């Protein structure tokens, strides 16, 4: 049986009855969740209350939480994706998929070949998309979407094992990340300039090959997240 997940921003989730107001309960109403059906409530800061629908109170509902899980579906250390801003809705899609794949941070990066403008105005929307994707995929918290950040600033701030999508690279060996985690970087559709690539390599990033085909930037972001976690042993 599928589980309906409801988001309660800022709620104190503990075993017992949890009242879900009408706006947060709307999804359960549309899904025709009945008393006794499985329901989860998420606070988006790491706690997931697992229980059942107790009753409806008008358009609000009450969930009987049996237990609380913390940090479900989260990677063992930071997993940060820097993705050159895409001026189309492809960046929206990339944010959703990065959330599903466990990214703890998504940073829109401004590279020379990034198109369009007013990117900072889109950050709030990207965060909302990440919040919604958490409920869909069942993890406990969304990635933090910040920025946009200039490429050189992103490179300078990067921590942990660092990788960037690079068609001509050789596959790195498996590794064990430390507590600083993993940082990944994916360029714009036109790729990085030679000067940008030199700065990325100087910043300690290692090229990560994604196969013999040319990928769209949003596809490369998904592939990079999956491959880096596989090399780190986080998908076992």
Residues forming CATH 2.40.240.20 domain(s) in the chain:
4-70
CATH architecture of 4-70: Beta Barrel (2.40)
Residue 52 in contact with residue 65, Cβ under 8 Å? no
CATH number, domain 79-232, options 3.90.79.10, 3.40.250.10, 3.40.1280.10, 3.40.50.1970? 3.40.1280.10
Whole-model pTM over 0.85: yes
Q: What is the mean pLDDT of residues 42-54?
A: 94
Nearest one of 233, 177, 183, 180 to 208, comparing CA atoms: 183
- pLDDT per residue as tens digits for the range 114-165: 987 788 899 999 999 999 999 888 899 999 999 899 999 999 999 999 999 9
Nearest one of 163, 142, 157 to 231, comparing CA atoms: 163
Q: C-alpha distances in angstroms, 163 versus 28, 49, 171, 210?
A: 40, 35, 11, 12
Q: How many CB atoms lie within 10 A of CB 48?
A: 24
Expressed in angstroms, the distance from the first to the final Cα of the chain is 25
Q: What is the mean pLDDT of residues 167-171?
A: 89
Q: What is the mean pLDDT of residues 83-109?
A: 95
Residues forming CATH 3.40.1280.10 domain(s) in the chain:
79-232
Q: C-alpha distances in angstroms, 121 versus 117, 127, 135, 148?
A: 9, 11, 24, 10
- pLDDT per residue as tens digits for the range 184-196: 999 998 899 999 9
- Rounded to an integer, what distance in angstroms lies between the CA atom of residue 35 and that of residue 54? 5
147 DSSP 8-state letter: -
- Rounded to an integer, what distance in angstroms lies between the CA atom of residue 130 and that of residue 143? 7
């Amino acid at each position: 049986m599928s589980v309906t997940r409801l988001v309660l921003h800022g709620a104190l989730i503990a075993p017992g009855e949890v009242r879900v107001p009408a706006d947060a309960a709307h999804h359960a109403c549309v899904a025709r969740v009945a008393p006794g059906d499985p329901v989860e409530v998420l606070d988006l800061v790491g706690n997931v209350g697992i229980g059942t629908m107790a009753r409806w109170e008008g358009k609000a509902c009450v969930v009987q939480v049996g237990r609380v899980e913390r940090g479900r579906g989260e990677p063992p250390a930071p997993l940060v994706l820097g993705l050159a801003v895409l001026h189309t809705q492809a960046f929206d899609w990339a944010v959703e998929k990065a959330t599903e794949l466990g990214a703890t941070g998504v940073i829109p990066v401004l590279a020379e070949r990034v198109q369009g403008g007013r990117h900072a105005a889109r950050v709030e929307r990207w965060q909302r998309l990440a919040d919604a994707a958490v409920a869909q995929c069942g993890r406990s918290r969304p990635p933090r979407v910040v920025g946009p950040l200039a490429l050189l600033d992103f490179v300078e701030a990067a921590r942990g094992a660092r990788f960037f999508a690079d068609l001509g690279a050789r596959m790195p060996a498996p590794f064990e990340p430390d507590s600083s985690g993993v940082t990944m970087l994916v360029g714009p559709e036109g790729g990085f300039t030679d000067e940008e690539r030199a700065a990325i390599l100087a910043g300690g990033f290692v090229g990560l090959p994604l196969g013999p085909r040319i990928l769209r930037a949003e596809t490369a972001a998904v592939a990079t997240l999956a491959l880096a976690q596989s090399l780190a042993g986080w998908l076992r």
